[in-house]
Structure 1
Amino acid sequence: MLFSVLAALAAALCYGVGTVLQALGARRTASGAGLDPRVLVRALGQWPFLVGTGLDVVGYACQFVALRALPIFAVEAAQAANLAVTAVLAVPVLGARLHGREWGAVAAVCAGLALLGISSGHEGPAHTHVAFRWSLLGCVALLGLAGWGCARLAEPWRARLLGLLAGLGFGLVALATRVLTDLSFSALVGNPASYALLVGGALTFLLYTVALQGGAVTSVAAALVVGETVLPAGIGIALLGDHSRPGAYGPLAVIAFLAAVAGAIALSRFAEGGPDDPR
């Protein structure tokens, strides 16, 4: 299980560095009206965004490995911790300054992840009813409709709500990954979760890109952390059998999860360089 914990941390590292690069590329890209897919195409023409996207692909590969053996609440908390990576990276790259409170938040994230690694039970791909897998695909459709509506709102609610929807999209991707029990080609083609993963991933990427263009980095990052951690973790525990180790590890896992997520939200203003960013 140690390898899976390391894979989750590697994913957070890739996502953290990728976020900085994607924000730089997104802000150099002309925005569109509403939820315009051409925004994503233009953003991919910016080299920082393209490199950041490559790091996201590597990060997802690591996340996929982690989700094969760890509960969703542990893996998604690790993904939220990518804000700690970007916060520390913002110091030398963006010239940001971390004060005592922010370093305390970094410590809370690291401590929370360490305790989650200790308290998490060993999991495997979750066997679910086909109705659950179809429901994931239905949720992707609802996410698209909600994104289309929110993209037409004025700032700052536009960026905040798109950030929350992007977080929920990342959560859907994690849930779809968790229920892929058979990775053979024929099984993947016939599994609705495969399409929820592919379509949901592309839609989430678009939502996140458009949200980053709004410039409300603090709100986007905080909303994304909430969306990608809380609901998927609850579904994993309630429906997919996720659990901690037996005994006193249950309360420890709850405390660790809350510490990691709270620390990540506290660091959200440094997602792409906060108020101290000299740009």
Structure 2
Amino acid sequence: MAWTILTNWIFLCGVVLVLGGLALQIIALSTLSLGVAVPIFVSGLVPLSLIAITVFGERLSGREWLSLLLVAAAMLLLALSIGTPPKVGSAEMPGWQLALVVTPALAVPLLLMVLGDHRPDGRHARPVAGVAYGLSAGFPVGAAEVAVKGWSEASAPGLTILQTPYPYVTVLSAVVGFAILQVGFQRCRVIIVATVMTISAKIYLLLVGTTLYGEPWPKDGGLAAMRVTALALGLVAVLLFPRYERDPEPEAPAPGEPPPWPPPWPPPGASRRAR
């Protein structure tokens, strides 16, 4: 499996893009506060949604479109709540504080994947829609971005940054998050997994990063209300995504072909009670 992946040029191009994005993120977080950076990072959902719809042929229900509109409204409110951005300075944070917030973000998704990753089988089974995979990947990715924030603000020059925990936490959290993300992409729709992952990761980054690195919350009451509303809309958007995929419509046999055997059960037209 490792040889197949590492010799796939599409995967290697993806790795280059991810590493380039990580480098740009480190640069961005060294000059921008989290309130400014998070809405910019979430804007990546726009091209991703277009790719999912046009390239992968994914389709969204009305409820799922509503979730995306709520995400857009949340990011607009978050951008409007910036006010006067605080100055970005070097962050000196004890390693135990970083471990305290990162460990649950890694342990809980891994535990859920190991103990709860049972693919549905049986007559009444329904395929999982990808919300669980998005949340399980989002928190490790958010933890990696929290470490990136410390990496970008650390006062250690050059390679002395390797003496801090930030690079190692970044790599470990990113590997866990992207591994779960790949599983979700193989089993579920890309747009659902990626949207839930992005929203959960950025909410985690904003809340935890603001607390750890001492960035002030908006002091103006109106701006603070906008930020709280934006976080609430993001949470509602995630909850609105359906937990299960819609049942696929059975394909009709081509003219001249025999009907499928055994016949589908329950037969078409059966009442829900009969099911």
Q: TM-score, normalised by structure 2?
A: 0.63
Q: Deviations over 1:201-222 (max 9, x none)?
A: 2222222112222235465335
What is the identity percentage for the equivalent residue pairs of Structure 1 and Structure 2? 22
Q: Deviations over 1:203-250 (max 9, x none)?
A: 222221122222354653354245313333222333332334432322
Alpha carbons 1:77, 1:261 under 8 Å: kept: no
Alpha carbons 1:147, 1:162 under 8 Å: kept: no
Amino acid at match of 1:205: F
Question: Where does 1:176-191 land on structure 2 (aligned, <5 Å)?
Answer: 176-180=147-151, 181-185=154-158, 187-191=160-164
The runs of 5 or more residues in structure 2 that have no matched partner are 121-126, 249-275
Alpha carbons 1:80, 1:264 under 8 Å: kept: no
Amino acid at match of 2:98: R
Q: Deviations over 1:11-43 (max 9, x none)?
A: xxxxxxxxxxxxxxxxxxxxxxxxxxx46x634
Amino acid at match of 1:146: L
Are residues 1:129 and 2:94 paired?
yes
Amino acid at match of 1:131: W
Name 1:252's counterpart in structure 2. Answer: 226
The runs of 5 or more residues in structure 1 that have no matched partner are 1-37, 270-274
C-alpha displacement at 1:252, in angstroms?
Answer: 2.3
* 1:63–1:265 distance in 2 versus 1, CA, 3 Å: farther
Alpha carbons 1:77, 1:113 under 8 Å: kept: yes
Name 1:213's counterpart in structure 2. Answer: 186
Report the count of equivalent residues. Answer: 232
Query: For residues 60 and 261 of structure 1, what CA distance do their matches in structure 2 show?
Result: 26
* 1:70–1:245 distance in 2 versus 1, CA, 3 Å: farther
Query: For residues 243 and 234 of structure 1, what CA distance do their matches in structure 2 show?
Result: 11
Please state whether the residue corresponding to 1:241 is helix, strand or coil.
coil
Are residues 1:240 and 2:213 paired?
yes
Name 2:123's counterpart in structure 1. Answer: none
Query: For residues 164 and 113 of structure 1, what CA distance do their matches in structure 2 show?
Result: 18
| Higher mean displacement: 202-211 or 156-165 | 156-165
Alpha carbons 2:129, 2:192 under 8 Å: kept: no
